[in-house]
Structure 1
Amino acid sequence: MEDTMEEENGREAKLKAEITRWLIFFGVAIMLSVMTWLGWSLTNRKNPITSFTTLVSDSSVAIGIQGSAPESLDIRTEQGTALEQALLENVYETLVSRSETNKLQPSIAKSWQISDDGLTYTFTLNSNVTFSNGHKLDSSDVVWSLQNVINNNYVGSDQLGSLKEITNPDEKTVVITLNQPNPCLLRALSGRAGIVYDEESTANYGKKAVGSGPFTVEASSKTQIVLQRNDSYWGTKAAASQITLYYYASEDSLVSAMEAKKISMALPLSASAADELNQQSGINSDSGISFDKVMLAFNNGTESPFSDEQIRKMTRYAIDAQTIAKDAPDAYSPLGGPISPLEDGYEDLSELFPYNLEQGQQMRSYFGAYYIADIDLLVPKEYEQIGNTVKSAIEQLNI
C-alpha cells in the first residue's frame, strides 16, 4: 500500500533512498486476511466464523476469493499470498503456528525452549505426525526442510538470518543454533520458512502438494482449488469433507456469486459490500483485524519542513486520527505507529499526540508566518477523502 507523504516545494519524496528516515504518523487497520480466516475455519479451530461449527462430516463448502488463482502449487517458490492463503495450515503445516489473535502456539512442535543467551532453540515434536502420503514426519524432515529453504532461497528464507546450525539429536528433537539472537525466528517458523516437507517425497510440487495438514489438494485450475479432507490427519479432523476455493476477478463478480448462492462464503470484502450482503436473507457478515494499514508519513529529510521535530508535533496535534478512523467504513481503529494489534511489539500509541488543535496552533505561533514553505500531500486515489481531511487540518495551522 502506498504511503501518503508531504514534502517541501512540490518535490516528490525519494522513497527508495529515504524510507528508513520517514516518520510514521498513524494507520488504520482494515479487514482480516483471507489466510487467517481459512486457516481457522476449515480446521475447526476457535474462530469468529461460527457458521463452520455446525458442519457435519459430509459437508462441502464453496468459498469465493477476490483475486487470481495461484499459477503453481509450489509453495516453496510461488510468490504472492494466494497460494499461502489456500495451503498454509490447511495442507502444509509449520513447526510453529499462530492463533486467531496472531499469537505463537504449538503445531508440529508441541513445545520449545530458548537458551538464556537467545542463541539456541530446542523444539520437541508431536508424536504420530504423518504426511498425507502416509510417511512418518520426524526431526530429519524438519532439518532437511529448513536446510532446503536456506540453500535454495525459497520464499521466506530471508527471515531465517543468523542460523549457524540445525541438528536433530533424536527423532523428536530439533535444535537450531544462531550466530546472534533473532527475536523474529519463531514468527518466521510459523510462516512459509517453517513448513515441514517430506524428505522422502518425489512429488512434483508445482502440480501436487504433500503436507501434514488436515486437507489435501484434490484438484486445481486457473479458477479454483479443491481441498479434500485428509482422513488420516494426525490431529483434529477437519469439519468439512471438501472445500472449493473459487477465484473472482472483481468484487462485483464475487458479490454476484454470493447473491446467486454459488458460494457459501465470500472473503475478503469491502465494508460497503459486506453491509449490503448482510441485509439479504440467509447471509451474515463478520469482520476482524488485519495487517493492512493506511499510513500518513512525514518526509523528515533536510529539504522538508518536517525535518523540524516541533513542526511534526504540531501537525500531529492538528489531525484528528480518531475521527478519521471512525469515519472510514473499513477501519478497525487508529494507530500511533506502523505496528498493528496483531503484530509482535504492538503498543497503543494512539494517545501519544491526541487531537488538540489549540495546542497545535499555539506551537505554530513560535514560527514566523513564512517560515514553513508549501508542502505537497501525495494521496492514492482511493484515499482522496482522507487526504482532503488531512489537508484541511493542516491548513488550520496556517500552512
Structure 2
Amino acid sequence: MTLLSSVPGRLSVAALLVTLTAPVLAQSTPQAGGVANVAIQPEPPGLMLPLVQNAPTQRVAGNIFEGLLRYDADLEPMPQLAESWKISDDGLTYTFTLHDDVTWHDGEPFSAEDVVFSVDFMRETNPRTRAVLAHVDSVTAPDDSTVVFTLETPFPAFIQAFEVGTLPMVPKHLYEGTDYYNNPANRHPIGTGPFEFAKWDRGSVIELDKNPDYYEAGKPYLDKIYWHVIPDAASRAAAYENGTLDIMPAGSVENFDLPRLSEMEGSCLTEAGNEYFNPFAMLWLNNREGPTADKRFRQAVMYALDRDFAKNVLWNGLGNVPNGPFTASLPAHDDSLTPYPYDPDRAEALLDEMGYDGEPVRLLPLPYGETWTRWSEAVRQNLEDVGINIETESSDVAGWNQKISDWDYDIAFTYLFQYGDPSLGIARTYDSDNIAKGSPWNNVEGYENPKVDQLFADAAVENDVDKRQAMYAEVQQILHEDVPLAWIMELAQPTVYRCNVHDLITTSIGLNDGFKNAWIEH
C-alpha cells in the first residue's frame, strides 16, 4: 500500500492540494523499466552515507545503502535487511533474522558479521548514532543470519533506530582495519540497496543503476536514476517545466514556485515522507559569549521574531509555528506551553533590562536558496527593529558548515531532524555531553543544564509512558524559559513530481529509500 498522500490541514494554499491520490488508486500493477530524473540540491559532499550525514547525501545514498528496517508513516517498523525481529519482554534483547542471499554490490555476501562491524563503525563516525548505541551493551552474531542486540537498560525508542540514515550497513570486507575517511571505496560506495553507484560528474549529474542481483524479486522497477545538480532554483523549476526533470524533492524550488509547478497538467504534490524526520528550523544562539550568552537577550530574540509572517509569506502557509522545542506531531510534545508571541515592546524591555549597548551580533544565513535568504533578511529586520545591531555574514554550504562546526557565529540559521522520539533527535541538541567542535548537528549552541541532561537521560530509558511524558514535559518547560536557541518553524517539505511516477514514497523517510518501489507508467 502506498503512503503517498497529502497531509490534511498542512497546506493552506489551494493550489497545493493537488495530489496523486486518484492516479495511485487507479493503478495497481507496477511496470518495469524507465529512468527517473531527479533534482538534488545542494550537491552532496559525498555519497559514503556511513560517513556523510547531511540531507542531500541521505537522499541519494539511501537508495545505495540499506538499514535493517524501514518505517511506515506511523513509524511502525517494516522489514528491510532484517526479515523479522523479536524484542524480549524485559525490553533488553532485540533479535534480528536477516534476509538470505543478500549480496553487496561487488558480489560479496552480506552477513550478520557486517551488522556487528557496522555498529562499531557508526559508533566511531556518527555522534547521533553513537548516542543511540550508548544504550547497547553488546552486539553478537550467533550465526550468519542472526544478530542480537543486548541493551544495558530498556530504551523504548531503540526499535526506531534502524533506518538507513541512522544505522546504514557498512561492508566489513572493504573497511575493516582501514582509515575509514580515506578508504578508496568512499569514491565508489558499495551497499546492498536496490541501486548501485554508477558515476558522478561533479557539478552535473549522479547516476545510479538498477541492482540486477537485488534480493527482493522483481525490484527495483526503474533502470536508472539520474540526480541532476542544477545550482540555480529558477533553472531547476524550468527544467521541471520543460520535462528534463521528473521529480523535485523538498527544497528543489523556491516556495513561491510551488503553486505554479503543482498546477501543471500531469503534476502532483505531496507532503508525505517526512514523518520520521520532523524537520525543525531553528536559530543557533551562541550561549558561550557575547550578548547571546544572556538568557534575556535570547528571550528578546524570540519576542522580536514575526514567525507568522515567515510562515504565511515566505513559506506560502506551509508548516507550523512551534510553541517550544518539540515538534507538535511528537507524542512527547507539551501542548500546554504558551508560544512566544510577536511582541517587539517586550523584546526592547528585556534588552534594556540586560543593558544591551548595541554590540554587533553576527547573523549567519543558511545557504539553501532564495527562500532562506529572504528569511534571513526578515529576521535581520525583526532584530534591528528592536535595536539589535546585526551584521550578516553570508557563506556557501562548506563555509556555513565550517563556521558552525568551529562555533564561529552569534546567531545562525539551521534545521535539524527531530526524528520520531526525543531521545533520537532532540536530546542531542541540548545534552552537554554533545558539546564538541567539528559537527554542525550536535549541541552547537553550548547550552549546559545538568537538570536537562538528567531529564533527557532518565526519559530515554523509562518504559512507563506517563512517567516518560512527565519528564519530557518538564524538560520542555525548562528549555522554554532558558531559550538555548530560537525555535522558528516546523518545516513542511513537499515533493513535486509527475503523476505517472507511482509508489515513489512508501515510507516515512520518503525519497531517501523510496526508489525501491517506484515505477513509471509508460
Indicate the larger mover: 93-102 or 178-187.
178-187
Q: Secondary structure at the match of 1:176?
A: strand
Q: Which has the higher helix share?
A: 2
Paired residue secondary structure (1:66)? coil
Residue in structure 2 matched with residue 83 of structure 1 by the alignment: 57
Aligned positions of 1:136-285 closer than 5 A: 136-150=109-123, 153=125, 158-159=130-131, 160-180=133-153, 182=155, 185-192=158-165, 194-200=167-173, 205-222=185-202, 223-235=204-216, 237-267=219-249, 268=251, 269-285=253-269
Residue 225 of structure 1 aligns with an amino acid whose one-letter code is I
Q: 1:339 aligns with which of 318, 326, 339?
A: 326
The equivalent of 1:6 in structure 2 is none
User: Per-residue deviation at 1:255?
Assistant: 1.8
TM-score, L = length of structure 1: 0.66
Quick one: which amino acid aligns to residue 46 of structure 1? L
Kindly report which structure 2 residues correspond to 1:286-305, keeping only aligned pairs within 5 A, or say none: 286-288=270-272, 289=274, 291-295=278-282
TM-score (norm 2): 0.52
**5+ unaligned residues in a row in structure 1: which ranges?**
1-43, 395-399
Between the two structures, name the one with larger relative contact order (CA 8 Å, sep ≥ 6): 1
- Report the more deviating stretch, 380-389 or 205-214: 380-389
Aligned partners of 1:58 and 1:241 also within 8 Å: yes
* Pairwise CA RMSD: 4.6
Q: CA deviation at 1:187?
A: 4.1
Q: Distance in 1 between matches of 2:383 and 2:171?
A: 53
1:374 Cα deviation after fit: 5.5
| Residues 197, 318 of structure 1: alpha-carbon distance in 2 compared, 3 angstrom cutoff | closer
Change (3 A) 1:173 1:357: closer
Q: Distance in 1 between matches of 2:355 and 2:293?
A: 7
Deviates more, 1:259-268 or 1:184-193: 184-193
CA shift in 2, pair 1:105/1:246, >3 Å: same
Mapped pair 1:59 → 2:43: no
Q: What SS class does the counterpart of residue 257 from structure 1 fall into? A: helix
CA distance in 1, matches of 2:158, 2:357: 41
Indicate conservation of the 8 Å contact 2:306/2:382, yes or no: no
Using the TM superposition, give the Cα deviation of residue 94 of structure 1 relative to its aligned residue in structure 2, in angstroms: 0.4
Q: Residue 57 of structure 1: CA displacement?
A: 0.8
- Corresponding residue pairs, total: 341
Distance 1:321 1:129, change over 3 A: same
Identity over the aligned pairs, expressed in percent?
A: 22
1:188 positional shift: 3.9
> Aligned partners of 1:390, 1:60: CA distance in 2, in Å?
47
Quick one: which amino acid aligns to residue 3 of structure 2? K
